[in-house]
């Protein structure tokens, strides 16, 4: 599903050049649950932006579903972000004065899904992440942190993307709530075979994935299975 070949990313400025990714290569198969783990400044966020078609590598190639993303136009990249990738962020990024259902419906509006199908698909996505019907009409700012993150996950799922990118999804949550959110990712992976990439700096969080790719100083320093 994903193939990164010698990905390098350099930022150029008058103050000097900074290479934050150095010949990064790995593959992720369809249906894998992978954590990319590294400390602040390791390059993991830059790598996530490239995997999410939000940025382009300086050199190297990134293939998603056999397409060379590095060679696509801006319009083609926008289509990939809309149809193939679901994003989950640390800060939830929900519309606070919109209902839970409206927050999840919104990507379907941009995708041109017909009105009669939007609500059905949004409700299905919310149920898949374990949110009860009674919460659908609540404003998102009336929810707990864990509930808001599950709404954000449902929003990422609603267009049925082939890849879910979760950037520090438990960073704003307490430990118990974070465990619930991580269990939601685990269920989505096992029950629905979603490919999930979890970006984190925490080893305990990374252990919830089946595989950990460790990055440090812009280079892959470890790639191991967590399965016994």
Query: Which pLDDT score is estimated for 116?
Result: 84
Residue 91 lies in a domain: yes
Rounded mean pLDDT, 152-169? 94
Residue 68 lies in a domain: no
Q: Residue 167 sits in a domain of what CATH number?
A: 3.40.50.300
* Strands 219-225, 18-28: pairing kind: unpaired
Residue 12 lies in a domain: no
Residue 19 lies in a domain: no
Query: Which pLDDT score is estimated for 197?
Result: 97
Strand partners, 215: 220
Q: What is the pLDDT of residues 5-32, one digit of tens each?
A: 999 999 999 988 999 999 999 999 999 9
- Whether 50 shows a pLDDT value over 90: the answer reads yes
What is the distance between the alpha carbons of residues 42 and 21, in angstroms, rounded to a whole number? 8
Residue 71 lies in a domain: no
Domain that holds residue 156: 30-56+80-225
Residue 207 lies in a domain: yes
Rounded mean pLDDT, 59-80? 93
Residue 181 lies in a domain: yes
- Whether 227 shows a pLDDT value over 90: the answer reads no
Q: Above pLDDT 90, what percent of the chain?
A: 86
Which long-range contacts (C-beta less than 8 Å, at least 24 apart) are formed by 222-228? Answer: 223/26
Residue 23 lies in a domain: no
- State how many domains the chain has: 1
4 vs 1: which has the higher pLDDT: 4
Rounded mean pLDDT, 86-103? 93
What is the distance between the alpha carbons of residues 42 and 153, in angstroms, rounded to a whole number? 25
> Residue 156's closest CA among 136, 180, 128?
128
70 vs 134: which has the higher pLDDT: 134
pTM: 0.92
């Amino acid at each position: 599903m994903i193939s990164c070949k010698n990905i390098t990313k350099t930022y150029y400025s008058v103050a000097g050049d900074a290479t934050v990714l150095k010949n990064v290569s790995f593959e992720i198969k369809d249906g894998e649950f992978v954590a990319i783990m590294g400390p602040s400044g390791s390059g993991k966020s830059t790598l996530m932006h490239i995997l999410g078609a939000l940025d382009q590598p300086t050199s190297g190639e990134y293939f998603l579903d056999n397409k060379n993303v590095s060679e696509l136009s801006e319009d083609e990249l926008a289509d990939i972000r809309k149809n193939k990738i679901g994003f989950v962020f640390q800060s939830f990024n929900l519309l606070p004065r919109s209902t839970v259902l409206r927050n999840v419906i919104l990507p379907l509006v941009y995708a041109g899904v017909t009105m009669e199908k939007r609500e059905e698909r949004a409700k299905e996505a919310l149920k898949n992440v374990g949110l009860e019907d009674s919460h659908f009409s609540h404003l998102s700012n009336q929810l707990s942190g864990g509930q808001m993150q599950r709404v954000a996950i449902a929003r990422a799922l609603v267009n049925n993307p082939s890849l879910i990118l979760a950037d520090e999804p438990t960073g704003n949550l307490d430990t118990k709530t974070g465990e619930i959110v991580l269990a939601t990712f685990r269920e989505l992976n096992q029950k629905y075979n979603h490919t999930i990439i979890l970006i984190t700096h925490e080893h305990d969080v990374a252990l919830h994935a089946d595989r950990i790719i460790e990055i440090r100083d812009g280079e892959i320093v470890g790639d191991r299975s967590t399965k016994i």
